[in-house]
Chains A and B, each alone.
Chain A
Amino acid sequence: MSTEKGETRRMTIAEALREAIREEMRRDDRVFCLGEDIGIEGGFGGAFTVTLGLSEEFGHERILDTPISEAGIAGAAVGAALTGMRPIADVQYADFLFCMMDQLVNQAAKMTYMSGGKVKVPLVMRAPCGATTRGAQHGQSPESFFIHVPGLKVACPSTAYDAKGLLKTAIRDDAPVLFFEHKLLYGSKGMRAEKDAVSPTSEVPTEEYTLPFGKGVVRREGKDVTIVAKLLMVYKALAAATRLEDEGVSCEVIDPRTLVPFDTEMVVDSVRKTGRLIIVDECNRTGGWAGEVAAEIQEKAFGYLEAPILRITAPDTPVPFSPVMEKFYVPDEDRITDAVREVLRWR
């Protein structure tokens, strides 16, 4: 396809991420991948196929299969990053970030600060998140834990175009980046395909590009209510917005793309126009990202608000297994639609 952006192709997020890694590894010898089951011959290419085929081009020294040793993987990434390499660690499931917490929070996030700015830790942790009927230890959305840690950056792409551009930026960034990928958005095929996946594809330029951190995108323009959502929730928000259009309600949907840094300005500008804000997030409610955005915006834009800011989040429970309960757990279009109607009652 040819657009004002030049030549493009349709890609899934898994394909776009793979292309980003491939380009960065060709461009810079310091970049390498490490993780479990990422490069084994005849294997999976990581749990969600992102690294499939990369060991053929780059060899097993740069697509480095590790034992199941999360603290070791994260710590090795820190050490390599400190001394001139640019590791991309595959976390298999974001839940296992909790096995890596010491290395990420006490080491990676603090080295630059503790050294008075003398060292840098340019690593990327790629972590698949989101509930997918695997239950409490394989379906969490731990993004919010990491926005609380000074020294870490957090990215959450929801389209293939963003995934590629943001991953390239993450790899080139001198700070540690937590890069969250939603399991239902990969578009993985064959034996790694996910039931109930949204699997968006988007046009991705053939020409090289990167996307800056801290710049959100307006996914849909509107004038009555602002909805800020990330990852899978972007699609739920867009579906709710489409449904509400029939009722004559116009929603603006913002995808921040990175949580740290966060594009406060874009949200403030939108709220200035709409006077109403809803944040949709798959993280648990208490102490979560949605609450943080709400606090930030009421400080910066209180004068424009015409209704309370509402959070639509997962409840404060672990991820339940039974599909009926999981469906209740994950925020859906109905809950978003109801919330929009509720904030519109404030006139």
Chain B
Amino acid sequence: MIRPPRESLVRMYQRMQQIRQLEEKVYYLFLQGDMPGTLHLYIGMEACAVGVCENLRHEDYITSTHRPHGHAIAKGVSLKAVMAELFGKSVGCCGGYGGSMHVGDLAVGSVPAIAIVGGGVPVATGIGLSCKMRKTDNVVCCFFGDGAVNEGAFHEGLNMAALWDLPVVFVCENNLYAASTPIAQAVKLAHLSERAGAYGIPGVTVDGNDVLAVYEVVGQAVERARRGEGPTFVECNTYRLCGHSRSDTCGYRDREEEAEWKKRDPLLVMEENLTEAKLITPDELLGIKEAVAREIDEAVQFARAGQTPKPEDCMQHVCAEE
């Protein structure tokens, strides 16, 4: 197993804390009625976004889904810009036009999230095509859930990326459920990575709750893509430690299963790995955690103080202007 440099480990832990704490705060605000709209939280899946994006450069891209907060933060959209977007403010990363399901900022390579399941897959293929045609060595990581692998768009996108050896890493976050539907009721395969063979590209399954494992496997896929050798399909096995959306009570899940996964909370896994290997002390971890808590409070203050769009702003940005 490769060991990333210490600064990288610290950054990954910090990012995971940022995502976790932002979402816990957001959920609280939502339940209080302070936050509009609907929410799909990423709690329990942080290691996927962070392990993937630690391999990416500023100029690389990601595409995201209806559950995008973690992806956007991991790629470098600021906590303030994400928080303000969730509040529907003009200073949000999409100016309040997008909302929770569309957060992102192309300026840092985070394509505004696509909430149509599977919709992002061919778009990622197109971004890979563009990276290649423009003769860059940039790559795109395409995030999607286990639910997306049964959409037609998924198949068309994967096949084209494979055919043209495009620099795309397809990252499937398999959290065992698509909304209320268990994976076994949606596909016949034991591992979704088996799908890769159908397109003639490598497929790997990795422990999606172990950020270092994700980092390593995706690192290889990213290098392969940069070398122009084509796409890889990476399946990250993980679990939502929260409802699908809003106040979903998960009546379709087994409480024991939930408890088992809770023990494998990606933040706990990382804390254990780091302290056991004596790479970082518990005090240092606590320090990071507390610093992040302050950042989150600042983000909330920033978002609350931010300008609300004017109603008629609705009419702007329908088409791009010169």
Interface residues of A, Cβ cutoff 8 Å to B:
36-37, 40-44, 65, 67-72, 95-96, 99, 133-138, 191, 315-318, 320-329
Contact of A324 among B178, B247, B308 (CB under 8 A): B308
B167 → A minimal CB distance (Å)? 27
Which of A67, A191, A317, A328 sits near B150, CB closer than 8 Å?
A: A67
Q: A43-B252, A136-B98, A191-B246 are in contact. Are A72 and B152 (CB under 8 A)?
A: yes
* A40-B252, A99-B151, A191-B247 known; A67+B187 contact, CB < 8 A: yes
Quick one: which of A42, A69, A133, A137 contacts B37, CB cutoff 8 A? A133
Q: Does B97 contact A (CB under 8 A)?
A: yes
From B101, B178, B247, B251, A138 is in contact (CB under 8 Å) with B101
Interface presence of B70 (CB below 8 A): no
Question: Count the B residues whose beta carbon is within 8 Å of the partner chain — how many?
Answer: 49
Pair A137/B181 contact, Cβ less than 8 Å: no
Q: A68-B147, A72-B152, A325-B314 are in contact. Are A37 and B187 (CB under 8 A)?
A: no
Question: Which residues from chain A contact B101 at a C-beta distance below 8 Å?
Answer: 134-135, 137-138
Q: A42-B251, A133-B37 are in contact. Are A68 and B178 (CB under 8 A)?
A: yes
Please indicate the chain B residues that have their CB under 8 angstroms from the CB of A323 in the complex. Answer: 36, 88
20 contacts between A and B (CB under 8 A): A42-B180, A43-B180, A44-B179, A44-B180, A67-B150, A71-B151, A134-B37, A134-B99, A135-B37, A136-B97, A138-B101, A315-B315, A320-B96, A321-B88, A322-B96, A322-B97, A322-B99, A324-B310, A325-B96, A328-B314
Given contacts A96-B116, A135-B101, contact A316 B179 (CB under 8 A): no
- Does B43 make an interface contact (CB < 8 A)? no
The answer to whether A70 and B180 touch across the interface, beta carbons within 8 angstroms, is no
In the docked arrangement, what's the CA distance between A43 and B248, Å? 9
List CB contacts (< 8 Å) of B282-322 with chain A: 308-315, 318
Residues in B neighbouring A42, C-beta threshold 8 A: 180, 250-253
Which single member of A40, A191, A322, A327 contacts B89 (CB below 8 Å)?
A: A322
The answer to whether A322 and B308 touch across the interface, beta carbons within 8 angstroms, is yes
**Given A325-B314, A326-B314: 19 more A-B contacts, CB < 8 Å:** A36-B181, A40-B180, A40-B252, A43-B251, A44-B180, A67-B187, A69-B151, A96-B116, A99-B151, A133-B99, A137-B101, A137-B102, A137-B116, A317-B314, A320-B96, A321-B98, A322-B89, A323-B36, A325-B313
List residues of chain A with CB within 8 A of the CB of B270. none
Closest chain B residue, CB of each to CB of A325: B314
Q: Smallest distance from the beta carbon of A6 to chain B beta carbons, Å? A: 37
In the complex the two chains form, is A133's CB within 8 Å of B252's CB? no
- Inter-chain CA distance A315–B114, complex, in Å, is 23
Closest to A134 in B: B38
Contact of B318 among A70, A137, A317 (CB under 8 A): A317
A287 CB to nearest chain B CB (Å): 15
Q: In the complex, A217 Cα to B312 Cα: how many Å?
A: 34
Which residue of chain A is the closest to B87 with respect to CB atoms? A322
Q: How far is the CA of A1 from the CA of B315 in the complex (A)?
A: 48
- Any A CB within 8 A of the CB of B9: no
Tell me whether A135 and B98 are in contact in the complex, defined as CB-CB below 8 angstroms, given that A325-B311, A327-B311, A328-B311 are known contacts: yes
From B96, B97, B101, B249, residue with most partner A Cβ within 10 Å: B97
Q: Which residue of A lies closest to B115 (CB)?
A: A137
Contact B150 A68 (CB under 8 A): yes
Closest residue of B by beta carbon distance from A321: B99
Render B80-111 as a binary contact track against A, CB cut-off 8 A, 1 for contact. Answer: 00000000110000101111111000000000
**In the complex, what distance in Å separates the CA atom of A67 from the CA atom of B183?**
9
Q: Which of B151, B153, B181 contacts A40 (CB 8 A)?
A: B181
